[in-house]
Structure 1
C-alpha cells in the first residue's frame, strides 16, 4: 500500500524474492525456489490427471450398474419364457393323455395338438436359451466394468496421496518427500494405464 500504510507479505513472497535476488544463501535460495516451482507444476499436472481418472472411474461404475440392470432384465425375460415353455409342456402332456383315452377317430386331432405344442416348445426353448446367454454376457460386461472402476479408483487414490506428499514437501522442504511425490505419481500413472488396458 502507498503512504503510511503497511504491506503484508504472503507466505511464499519472501521465498520468491529470496530466490529471485539470489542473496542470503545463494544456491540454496535458487534450489528452494526451483523446488517450489517444480512441485507446483507437477502438482497441477497430477491433479488434472487425477480428475480424468476420477471421471473414468465414475463412468465405468455407471456402466457396470447399467449392464447389471440389463442382465437382470434378460434373466426376467428368460424366466418368463421358461414359464411359457412349462405351460406348453403341461398342455402337451394333457393332450397326450386325452389322445390315449380318446376313441380312434379322435386320436389324430389330439396328435396334431401334441405336434404343435412340441414345435412351439422348441421355439420357446431356443428363445429362452438365447435370453440366458445375453444375460450372462451382460453380467460379464458388468463385472469387467466394475474391475476397471476399481482400477481407476486405485489410480485416483494414489495420485491424491502424491498431491498430499507434494503439499508436505512444500511445507517442510524435504527432498525425500518430493521424491516420494514423484514415486506415488508414477505408481498412479501405471495403475491408470492398467485400467485403460482393462488389466
Structure 2
C-alpha cells in the first residue's frame, strides 16, 4: 500500500501474475516458454469473457426479479377488478330481486339499473382480463430471464473451471491439462453463445 491507495485483486489476478512471472523468468522446459505464454494469454482472455458473462448473469437475474414484481402488481390490480366485478354482481342480484318484489310502476327503474350493472360488469371484466393477460406476460418474461440467468451462470462456471485448469497446467506442465482447459473454455464460450441467442 503506497500513497494512501490500495488495490483490489480480481479472482484470477494471481494466476495471471504467476503466468507472467514464469514467462519473464524464462522457465522453458521442452517448449515450456511458449506453453506459459499461451496459457497466460488464454487465461487473460477467458477471465475477461468470464467477467462479461458474470455481468450478464447478474443483469438477467435483476430483470427476472423486476418482471416478477410487475406480474405481482398486475395480479393485484386484476384481483381488485374482480372484487369490483363481484360488488356489481351483488348489486345486480339485489336489483333483480327488487324487480320481482316491487309494484309494476317501479319495475322499469330496477330494470334500467340491472342493465346498467350488466354493462359495468362487462367493462370491468374486460379490464380484469387485460390485467391478467399482462400478469401472465410479465411472468413469462421473468421465466425467460431466469433461464438466461442460468445459462450465463453455467457459462461463467465453465470459464472459471477452465481458468483453474490453466493454473494447474501451468504448474504441472501437463499437455492434457492444457487441452482440458481449452475444451472446458470452449464449452463455456458455447453456453455463452446460447445465452446470447436466448436459447
TM-score of the superposition, structure 2-length normalised? Answer: 0.87
What is the deviation of 1:159?
0.2
Partner of 1:158: 158
Corresponding residue for 1:32?
A: 32
Instruction: For 1:34-183, list aligned pairs within 5 A.
Output: 34-183=34-183
The residue number in structure 1 matching 2:8 is none
Per-residue CA distance 1:45-86 (angstroms, 9 max, x = gap): 000000000000000000000000000000000000000000
> How far apart are the structure 2 equivalents of 1:75 and 1:191?
34
Q: Give the Å deviation of 1:100.
A: 1.1
Moved over 6 A (4+): none
Matched-pair contact (CA < 8 Å) for 1:61–1:145: yes
Are the structure 2 counterparts of residues 44 and 124 from structure 1 closer, same or farther at C-alpha, using a change threshold of 3 Å? same
Partner Cα distance (1:156, 1:86) in 2:
51
User: How many residue pairs were aligned?
Assistant: 181
Alignment TM-score, normalising by the size of structure 1 = 0.87
Deviations 1:124-170 (A, max 9, x none): 00000000000000000000000000000000000000000000011
| Unaligned runs of at least 5 residues, structure 1 | 1-9, 20-24
How far is the alpha carbon of 1:17 from its aligned partner? 3.7
Distance 1:69 1:112, change over 3 A: same
| 3-state secondary structure, aligned to 2:198 | coil
